[in-house]
């Protein structure tokens, strides 16, 4: 997103700056499609995907985009066109990928701790690349499903390396107290069990230690333990072809600047690849947030200004049902005016939504340029876990989603209506 000068009537001078997504004014999009409104840059998604992919160019690998970050079909279609694979965690996410192109199943890995037999059957029928198995019980269930379907399930056990990562506790997954994966100490025994199942094909080892991690050292520590496990398993006769390194690479939400993503991706790649040198494995990678996060903004309009005993509020038309991260994680998103005159003045406000919850806020005690009723604000870096975490709480229809590609504007999800919400009820 970039501010561009706009000339106003007759003066011959640029008197204000308007925030643009690629070549399109966000003010124009808000007028055309209403607010709240999610807007994504196709060019940013392409650039970051290419950069991430290039960082791993020295090793055989597949970028399996993490569908949970942003599952819109338009986004998935864009990434499929760039030869990405996909990481899914539910039957619904798998169906989204198959809706784009059923042939994409060959580039799908299925993760998640609670796969149902029906989901397993669907994935087996589609002939996905790999099941990331997360428990001993799931291993037995998958073996039974594969036998009933007369299919062979390619599997990797997701091992829990007990590696701490500096991130929010809700999105850390690599410690023994978390629900994800099997203890790495149990892996040899479980692989031996899997080898006895006629319809399971041991193909790899999987690990994922969490999300929004910006220090690459925990990734390196996890991969050291995975590499040691691969050597043990191969010594026992298991053909380990794939190592799924998971995702989790974070982005900078704090200042609207994502920094040098090429350098960040290169550091991450070195941390992941160094422990695996000499193992001759095909690496599977599951980026999500770092690909789509910076591509998106949530546009919202100021409804009311309000003050309670000196405490200032901006009541806007977006709410926690549209963007849950601030309420759920205490997450920070930079908020900027769509139209600015670059005034130096600031005021401290809470930016809040219309929902009847005290937890319905988008920012607290935030210094912003003074905003008036009717002004447009842009909440930055909302391409990941924005719309994907949205809900219809308070019977609020969810926003439309727009994909901008240079001058092209495409509605990739229309705005819901109240009638849409009531349609399934009786």
Q: Are residues 265 and 330 in the same domain?
A: no
Looking at the fold, whether 107 and 84 belong to one and the same domain comes out as yes
What angle is formed at CA 99 by the lines to CA 97 and CA 100, rounded to 5 degrees?
Answer: 70
Residues 262 and 356 in one domain: no
Q: Which of 158-167, 293-302, 326-335, 395-404 has the lowest mean pLDDT?
A: 158-167
Q: Calculate mean pLDDT across residues 315-323.
A: 98
326: number of Cβ within 10 Å = 20
The position carrying tokens 């338009």 is 74
* Boundary (domain end) residue, out of 232, 267, 291: 291
**CA 180 to CA 182: how far, in whole Å?**
7
Model pLDDT for residues 14-64, shown as the tens digit of each residue: 568 999 999 999 999 999 999 999 999 999 999 999 999 999 999 999 999
* DSSP three-state, residue 240: coil
pLDDT over threshold 60, residue 127: yes
Query: Please, are residues 79 and 49 in contact by the beta-carbon 8 Å criterion?
Result: yes
Give the single-character DSSP code of 416.
Answer: P
Task: Examine the pLDDT at 167 and tell me if it is beyond 50.
Answer: no
pLDDT, residue 168, reads 41
In this prediction, residue 258 carries a pLDDT of 57
**391, HSE (Cβ side, Cα atoms, 13 Å):** 9
pLDDT for res 184: 87
pLDDT digits (tens, 9 = 90+) for 197-244: 999 999 999 999 888 888 899 899 999 999 999 999 999 999 999 999
Q: Do both 285 and 301 map to the same domain?
A: no
Cα(78)–Cα(312) distance, rounded to whole angstroms? 42
- The residue out of 240, 264, 291 marking a domain boundary is 291
Average pLDDT over residues 144-148: 97
Same-domain status, 21 and 86:
no
Same domain, 90 and 223: yes
pLDDT for 14 equals: 52
- Looking at 78-141, which runs of residues are DSSP E strands? 85-88, 108-110, 130-133
CATH of the domain at 336: 2.40.37.10
Assess contact for 250 and 167: CB atoms under 8 A: yes
Q: Which is nearest to 140 in space by CA: 110, 160, 125, 120?
A: 120
> Could you tell me if 155 and 298 lie in one domain?
no
| Residue 188 three-state SS | helix
**In terms of Cα–Cα distance, which of 284, 297, 385, 298 is closest to 69?**
385
Q: What's the predicted TM-score (pTM) here? A: 0.93
Same domain, 36 and 47: no
**CB contact set of 270 (below 8 Å; sequence gap of 6+):** 216
Task: Give the span between the Cα atoms of 80 and 97, in whole angstroms.
Answer: 9
Cα 161 to chain center, whole Å?
22
> Within 10 A of 142 (CB to CB), how many other CB atoms are there?
24
In whole angstroms, what is the distance from residue 251 CA to residue 261 CA? 9
Q: What does the pLDDT read at residue 355?
A: 97
Residues 16 and 61 in one domain: no
Q: In angstroms, how far is CA 37 from the centroid of its own chain?
A: 18
Tell the burial category of 6 from Cβ atoms under 10 Å away from its Cβ (0-12, 13-18, 19+): middle
Q: How far apart are CA 267 and CA 215, in angstroms?
A: 9
Q: Does pLDDT of 170 surpass 50?
A: no
Encoding tokens for residue 8?
């106003």
Tens of pLDDT along 250-305? 998 875 555 799 999 999 999 999 999 999 999 999 999 999 999 999 999 999 99
Q: Quick one: pLDDT band at residue 4, thresholds 50, 70, 90? A: confident
Please tell me the distance from the alpha carbon of residue 407 to that of residue 22, in angstroms, as a whole number: 7
pLDDT in tens, 342-354: 677 899 999 999 9
- Domain with 281 in it: what CATH number? 3.20.20.10
Tokens standing for 144?
């039974």
In terms of residues, how long is the chain?
A: 426
Give the whole-number percent of the chain exceeding pLDDT 70. 92
Is residue 136 over pLDDT 60? Answer: yes
pLDDT exceeds 90 at position 163? no
Whole-angstrom distance, CA of residue 72 vs CA of residue 152: 30
Tally of structural domains, the chain: 2
* Helix or strand (DSSP H, E) at 94: helix 91-100
State the DSSP H helix or E strand holding residue 30, giving kind and residue range, or none if neither. Answer: helix 26-33
Distance, CA of 184 to CA of 225 (rounded, Å)? 8
Q: Which domain holds residue 326?
A: 2-41+294-422
Shared domain for 406 and 313, answered yes or no, is yes
- The answer, yes or no, to whether the previous bond of 36 is cis (omega within 30 of 0) is yes
Concatenated DSSP letters of 357-414 = STT-EEEEEEEE----TT-EEEEES-SSSSGGG---GGGPPPPEEEEEETTEEEEEEP
Task: Pinpoint the alpha helices (H) of 161-312.
Answer: 187-195, 217-235, 261-273, 289-292
**In a shared domain, residues 166 and 90:** yes
With contact defined as beta carbons under 8 Å apart, do 148 and 172 qualify? no
Residue scoring higher pLDDT (405 or 343): 405
By the 8 A CB rule, do 127 and 106 touch?
yes
- Which residues are tagged catalytic? 356
pLDDT at 105: 98
Instruction: Match 């670059």 to its residue by tokens.
Output: 342
Residue 13 confidence (pLDDT) above 90: no
Give yes or no: residues 50 and 141 share one domain. Answer: yes
């Amino acid at each position: 997103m970039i501010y561009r000068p706009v000339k106003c009537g007759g003066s011959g001078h640029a008197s204000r700056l308007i925030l643009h997504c690629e070549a399109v004014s966000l003010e124009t999009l808000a007028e055309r499609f209403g607010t709240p409104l999610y807007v994504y840059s196709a060019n940013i998604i392409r650039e970051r995907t290419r950069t991430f992919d290039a960082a791993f160019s020295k090793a055989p690998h597949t970028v399996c985009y993490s569908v949970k970050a942003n599952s819109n079909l338009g986004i998935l279609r864009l990434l499929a066109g760039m030869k990405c694979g996909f990481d899914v965690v539910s039957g619904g996410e798998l169906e989204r990928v198959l809706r784009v192109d059923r042939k994409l199943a060959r580039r799908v890995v299925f993760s998640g701790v609670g796969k149902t037999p029906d989901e397993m059957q669907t994935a087996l029928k589609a002939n996905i690349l790999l099941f990331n198995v997360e428990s001993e019980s799931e291993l037995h269930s998958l073996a039974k499903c594969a036998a009933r379907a007369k299919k062979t399930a390619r599997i990797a056990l997701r091992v829990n390396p007990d590696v701490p990562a500096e991130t929010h506790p809700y999105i850390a997954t690599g410690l023994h107290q978390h629900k994800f994966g099997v203890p790495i100490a149990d892996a040899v025994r479980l692989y031996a069990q899997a080898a006895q199942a006629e319809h399971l094909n041991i193909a790899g080892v999987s690990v994922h230690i969490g999300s929004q991690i910006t220090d690459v050292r925990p990734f390196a520590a996890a991969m050291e333990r995975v590499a040691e496990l691969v050597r043990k398993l191969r010594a026992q006769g298991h053909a380990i072809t794939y190592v799924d390194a998971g995702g989790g690479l974070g982005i900078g939400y704090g200042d609207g600047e994502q920094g040098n993503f090429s350098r960040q991706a290169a550091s991450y790649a070195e941390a992941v690849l160094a422990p695996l040198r000499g193992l001759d494995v095909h690496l599977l990678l599951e980026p999500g947030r770092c690909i789509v996060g910076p591509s998106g903004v949530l546009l919202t309009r100021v409804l009311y200004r309000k003050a309670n005993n000196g405490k200032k509020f901006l009541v806007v038309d977006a709410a926690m049902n549209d963007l849950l991260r601030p309420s759920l994680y205490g997450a920070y998103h930079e908020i900027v005016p769509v139209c600015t005159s670059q005034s130096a003045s600031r005021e401290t406000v809470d930016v809040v939504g219309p929902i009847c919850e005290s937890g319905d806020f988008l920012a607290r005690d935030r210094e912003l340029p003074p905003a008036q009723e009717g002004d447009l604000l842009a909440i930055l870096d909302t391409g990941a876990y924005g719309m994907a975490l949205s809900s219809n709480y308070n019977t609020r229809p969810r926003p439309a989603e727009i994909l901008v590609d240079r001058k092209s504007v495409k509605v990739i999800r229309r705005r819901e209506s109240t009638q849409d919400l009531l349609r399934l009820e009786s």
